[in-house]
Amino acid sequence: MPPEGPPKLPAAPLRLIVDHDALAANWHTLDRLSGTARAGAAVKANGYGLGARAAVRTLGNAGCRDFFVAHWQEAEALLDLVDPASISVLHGPATSDEARWAKAAGVRPALNSLDQVARWQSVGGGPCDIMVDTGINRLGLALSDLSDPAIAALDIDIAMSHLACADEDNPRNAVQMARWREACGVLQPRRASLANSAGIALGAAYHGDLTRPGLALYGGIPRAEFENEIAQVARIETMVLQVREIAAGEGVGYNATFTAPHPLRIGTVALGYADGFLRAWSDCGMLRSNGSPLPVIGRVSMDMSGIDLSAAPEVREGDWVEVDYALPAAAQASGLSQYELLTILGQRFSR
């Protein structure tokens, strides 16, 4: 018999399962809810932690034609998948080298200051976007900057701003919308964009020509209006590493934050804070086996967490269990934001 080759590397004991049908359906939903505007897609932070390249393929096949990233490296990773001119880089060129790279790559920089405007023009300019600060006080040109002669010379595709309080019924939303409309009147861009995921629910006055959903694409529910509209996209499964019986009074995990009230059958799973399952889940997270609840017990550690197997006596070492990770409920249970729950997921998951 021929000699066998080296053993195949075992699969990771963690799975991040991305439902691309749900991702596409969410884009179609948000595009519909955007009314006469077209929905783009924020795919920054590696597609909100779920894989930007795969997300862009799915969204492009669904009909999305505008993609928003934060960094040049995020744009470079997508150049072979879409028309570079469909990519907007939100942070803009902080240096002349960045401006030159954007020009050569053919992506659109979002210009956030008069200095960035000057850098873009110094490399020859071309189609760009403008971010106007209408009240969030992060990035963006001030309204008073828009009359600068350098602005008039730009080839502006999208004039955009970003809402600070779209997930709330807050009077600041209307103030920002009015300032954005004023800015668009000055800039005369080809397209105007204000609404993020939550902003889409605020109505047509916030939509402009293009909306920029992010969180809701990936299963987040930023406002109650989306509760029956948006599908869960990300699911997590982990392997049971060990099963044991402990006596009443025994502690579980660091500092014995959980003490067994009676004899218990418990498991240790391959999931910890190095994977993005933070200590916030200690003594409050929930896993399941065929629907049976498996509460997290004790303190989450770097690579492992403890679970109570009382409701699933059939679970053995090597079995897979699922983490409750529907974003709204998970955020309420953990105290983390829905954005954090996605973007902190680590690299040890098989995807």
Clarify whether 254 is annotated catalytic. yes
Q: Is 314 exposed, middle or buried, given 0-12, 13-18 or 19+ CB atoms closer than 10 A?
A: exposed
Partners of 292 in the β-ladder: 289
Clarify whether 8 is annotated catalytic. no
- For β-strands 251-252 and 38-39, DSSP reports them as unpaired
CA–CA separation, 223 vs 206, rounded Å? 15
CA–CA separation, 13 vs 274, rounded Å? 14
CA–CA separation, 290 vs 274, rounded Å? 26
Degrees to nearest 5, angle at CA 195 with 192 and 197: 145
CA–CA separation, 130 vs 109, rounded Å? 8
DSSP string of 25-62, one letter each residue: HHHHHHHHHTTTSEE-EE-HHHHHTT-HHHHHHHHHHH
CA–CA separation, 133 vs 162, rounded Å? 7
Catalytic residue selected from 8, 48, 206, 254: 254
Catalytic residue selected from 44, 48, 273, 339: 44
CA–CA separation, 30 vs 148, rounded Å? 36
Residue 306 parent element (H or E): strand 305-308
Q: Using alpha carbons, select from 34, 23, 41 the residue that is nearest to residue 225.
A: 34
Tally of CA atoms within 13 A in the half-sphere of 220 that contains its CB: 25
CA–CA separation, 175 vs 71, rounded Å? 29
Residue 343 parent element (H or E): helix 338-343
Q: Which residues are catalytic?
A: 44, 254
